Each structure stands twice: as structure tokens, then as C-alpha cells.
Amino acid sequence: MRFLSLAPAFLWASLGAAKVVQYTFELTTGTVAPDGVERKAILINGQTPGPTVYADQGDEVSVTIVNKMDIQSTIHWHGIQMKGSIWSDGVPGVTQR
């Protein structure tokens, strides 16, 4: 009986755990050589590929983009799985089924 009396409190605590996860991405250009051959690339926070975004289910993700390049740019996301749907975005065999 004690377990049942703790269940509503546990459920309430887990529902209240969602948070806003904030990131700032600075876009620049630079020279990289991931395969040993130097080439120009777009960098996010000085790296390519860009940083991993960490969030828990229910979190809201807020991303501020600072474009320090000489060209306009956009950001789009890969690797998002959508449960209950045949559509996913990402790399076939990794995040696409």
C-alpha cells in the first residue's frame, strides 16, 4: 500500500521535469581535413560536424544562431525519429527505418 501512495507523487515529479534547453550556435568558415585532404567548410562553434543537441522527452529546445559568415545561411535538423510514422529525417539505416 505504501508503494501506491508514493506513485502519484513520483508521477507529478516526473511530469514537472521538462525544461528549456538552450544552445547558441556560431556559424563560421574554416579549413578542415577529416579525411586528410584540406578543404573549406562551414563550422558550428568551430567544429564540423556540429555539436550534438542533448534534450529529454518533453523538453523545449531553444537555439540561437549567430551567423559570422559572409553569406546568408539556414539551419535544418537530421536524426529526428517520429514515433508511429513511416517518416523520419536522417541517415538511412541510422535514424531512418
DSSP line for the chain: -HHHHHHHHHHHHHHTT--EEEEEEEEEEEEE-TTSS-EEEEEETTBSSPPPP---TT-EEEEEEEE-SSS--------B--TT-S--BS-BTTTB-
pLDDT at 3 over 60: no
* Residue range 35-83, pLDDT digits in tens: 999 999 999 999 998 898 888 888 988 999 999 999 999 887 766 665 6
Give the range with max mean pLDDT: 72-76, 78-82, 85-89, 90-94: 72-76
pTM for this entry: 0.64
Q: Which residue has the higher pLDDT, 17 or 58?
A: 58
